[in-house]
Amino acid sequence: MIFTKIMLDFTRDNPQIIENIDMITFIPLDRKRLSGRGFNQSELLAAGLGRWLGMPVKHLLDKAIAAKHQNDLSREERLTNIMGTFKIKNGMKDVVKGAKILIIDDVMTTGSTLNESSRELINAGAAEARCFTLARGM
């Protein structure tokens, strides 16, 4: 996948992104959106990156609430829409505890999705949550 290769090349030029990371995770989609689309682009990016880097990829987060689509909202609405959306996946609290985790998402616009997912991982005991996206939206 060309997009995974772009991200891999970026980590080679900026190794601090993956330095001391224990595992990779990704931003989950709600069930309805995943069912309609048939794939999660962030999960595909994470899986490819994990393969290339030899790092484990874990499905750590679930989307507990089907929030409105972020791309349909104003900047101000995006900042509050995503609050409380993510929860640690059943059986993953022990995996998260003390781990340094790299969160993959396809596009970051306001950063609210990554902030909320990071907050959930840190609250569950992760030592660190870093974020890495393919693109930056406006």
Contact 44, 34 (CB under 8 A): no
Q: Is the dihedral of CA 34, 38, 41, 42 positive or negative?
A: positive
Using the predicted structure, report yes or no on whether residue 71 has a pLDDT greater than 70.
Answer: no
Please report the pLDDT score of residue 96 as a whole number: 98
> Which residue is associated with the tokens 């791309």?
71
79 backbone dihedrals φ, ψ, rounded to 5°: -65, -30
36 backbone dihedrals φ, ψ, rounded to 5°: -70, -40
Q: Give the span between the Cα atoms of 105 and 131, in whole angstroms.
A: 8
Contact 87, 115 (CB under 8 A): no
Report the CATH architecture of 2-136.
3-Layer(aba) Sandwich (3.40)
The alpha carbon of residue 39 and the mean position of all alpha carbons in its chain are separated, in whole angstroms, by: 15
Please report the pLDDT score of residue 70 as a whole number: 61
Please report the pLDDT score of residue 31 as a whole number: 81
Q: Is the dihedral of CA 101, 40, 29, 89 positive or negative?
A: negative
Higher confidence at residue 137 or residue 54?
54
Q: Is the dihedral of CA 92, 93, 98, 104 positive or negative?
A: positive
Q: Say if pTM beats, i.e. exceeds, 0.75.
A: yes
Please report the pLDDT score of residue 69 as a whole number: 65
Beta 61-63 vs 86-88: how paired, if at all?
antiparallel
pLDDT one-digit tens code per residue, 72-130: 667 677 667 677 789 999 999 999 999 999 999 999 988 889 999 999 999 999 999 99
Residue percentage of the chain with pLDDT more than 70: 88
Beta strands in the chain, from DSSP E residues, in sequence order: 23-26, 61-63, 86-88, 100-108, 128-136
